[in-house]
Structure 1
Amino acid sequence: MFLHQLTKDFIWMVIDDGSTDETEHLVQKMIQEGKITIEYVKKKNGEKYTAHNVAVKRCKTKLIFIALDSDDRLKHNAVEKIIFDWNTVKDNDVVGMVYMCEDPNGKLMLSEYNGAELSKSPSLQEVTVKGRFSG
């Protein structure tokens, strides 16, 4: 997922929330390969928010916290797009951005909601009030 990003200008922080599979071994192997910068943190299993809290506390960069689960995937240009969008934001009140998910066929994964439509760049309020992500 991150190894295939067009830009390598990021740090991939993996918060291993008590996994019992081969996550640690696989991540350590990727760290040794040195293709991208990876910070690995193993912690006792807890709820998802505890992993987010660890990531926020350990983050040393001014930008970007992307919360993904182990089964999520990013397009090859996702990090590049997020950095570009953040750098072009003109509103000083923006503290974060929300991106819509797509299914494997490229269809937006939003459920129907009273026939209303979201803009191409919805606000968090627009997404949470008008519509719901289905994935």
Structure 2
Amino acid sequence: MRETKITIVTPTYNRAHTLPRVYDSLKNQTFKDFKWIIMDDGSTDNTNEIVSQFQSEGIIDIDYHWNENQHKFITVFEGIKKVQSKYFVIYDSDDSYPANALEILYNEAEKISDQDQFISVMGLSQFENGELVGDKYPNEGFDGTILEMRYKYKVRGDKNGMFITKTYQRLLEKFDYSIYKNKGYIPQSVFFNTYDAKGIKTRFINKVVRNYHLDEDDKQSVSNTRWSGKNTYGLMEGYKSFLNSYGKQLYKYPKALIRNIVGYHLYGILNKKGISELNNGLKYFKVLSLMIYPLSVIYTKLKTS
């Protein structure tokens, strides 16, 4: 059986009310050579019925997998392991995508000749009113790292794109994400920091490939719950990953370095960890961490008072 060119991986948890939005945007894609893997992270609503309805229409090739709740970080990787196509995208269960999104990303990825040096093509997101989420990339787009994009060029806002499967899966094989099982929310940056710091490149393009829906009243939205107490462990791990992955590269960006040390301290303190335990988790910057810690304590008190 011929394999499709793109696989869409969608982690979902109790999103029966938003999955039809994703489905409708996929039905309307101008690029048709794709399949959809839906990774259900233990939903207790009628997600399975909704997906069965999608499947019965026979418009899209859909694989549906239900698992006990492991949280998005783990569920995404379990889905990516199932990918056999040349490219894949991670589509959230509450957004939608312009009709030409897959076509844009596929055509741009096919232009990359040295794909072993690249992991993704990353485009832009827009709100429902057409306003861009954050900034455009400089120089009409460029090839480089996420670190450069965020801190050299100071590009802000959520982005979205497509991954090169062989590169991503090769790097994922070396990443032990099992240590984060049953740990709740973990930011995806805990993984992408590891490969981005090694100089694995992304092609950044100034084309819109996602419609971002705020859904401010949706209690299941990570965007609306990530800052709550149950997520502080994952946020601490995100800051630690950033510091340990990029290491001495961060001396080029002193503001970012200090900001991330303070963030690591903040969420470490909220997780009842003292400075000795926090410093034991760092590969670099231990002395700087000690120097900054008293200020972090004051900052934490101000944030939580």
Equivalent residue number for residue 75 of structure 1: 98
Equivalent residue number for residue 114 of structure 1: none
Q: Secondary structure at the match of 2:126?
A: coil
Equivalent residue number for residue 132 of structure 1: 156
Q: Deviations over 1:79-133 (max 9, x none)?
A: 111111111123432221222211112221116xxxxx63243543343322332
Give the CA deviation at 1:51.
Answer: 1.3
Structure 2 counterpart of 1:21, which letter? D
Query: Where does 1:1-135 land on structure 2 (aligned, <5 Å)?
Result: 1-64=25-88, 66-92=89-115, 93-110=117-134, 118-119=137-138, 120-122=140-142, 123=144, 124-129=146-151, 130-133=154-157
Q: Secondary structure at the match of 2:90?
A: coil
- Quick check: 1:103–1:109 contact (8 Å CA) kept in 2? yes
Give the CA deviation at 1:37.
Answer: 0.9
- Quick check: 1:2–1:12 contact (8 Å CA) kept in 2? no
Q: TM-score, normalised by structure 2?
A: 0.39
Give the CA deviation at 1:61.
Answer: 1.2
Q: Secondary structure at the match of 1:2?
A: helix
Instruction: Measure, in 2, the Cα distance between the counterparts of 1:37 and 1:43.
Output: 20
Q: Structure 1 pair 4/131, CA: closer, same or farther in 2 (3 Å)?
A: same
Gaps of 5+ in 2: 1-24, 159-211, 213-305
Aligned-residue identity in percent: 28
Q: Structure 1 pair 128/23, CA: closer, same or farther in 2 (3 Å)?
A: farther
- Quick check: 1:118–1:126 contact (8 Å CA) kept in 2? no
Instruction: Measure, in 1, the Cα distance between the counterparts of 2:36 and 2:103.
Output: 14
Structure 2 counterpart of 1:88, which letter? K
The aligned length equals 129
Higher helix share: 2
Higher strand share: 2
Structure 1 counterpart of 2:147, which letter? Q
- Quick check: 1:12–1:38 contact (8 Å CA) kept in 2? yes
Q: Secondary structure at the match of 1:55?
A: helix
Structure 2 counterpart of 1:45, which letter? N
* More RCO (CA 8 Å, sep 6+): 1
Give the CA deviation at 1:21.
Answer: 2.1
Give the CA deviation at 1:71.
Answer: 1.2
Q: TM-score, normalised by structure 1?
A: 0.82
Runs of 4+ in 1 over 4 A off after TM superposition: none
Gaps of 5+ in 1: 112-116
Alpha carbon RMSD of aligned pairs, Å? 2.0
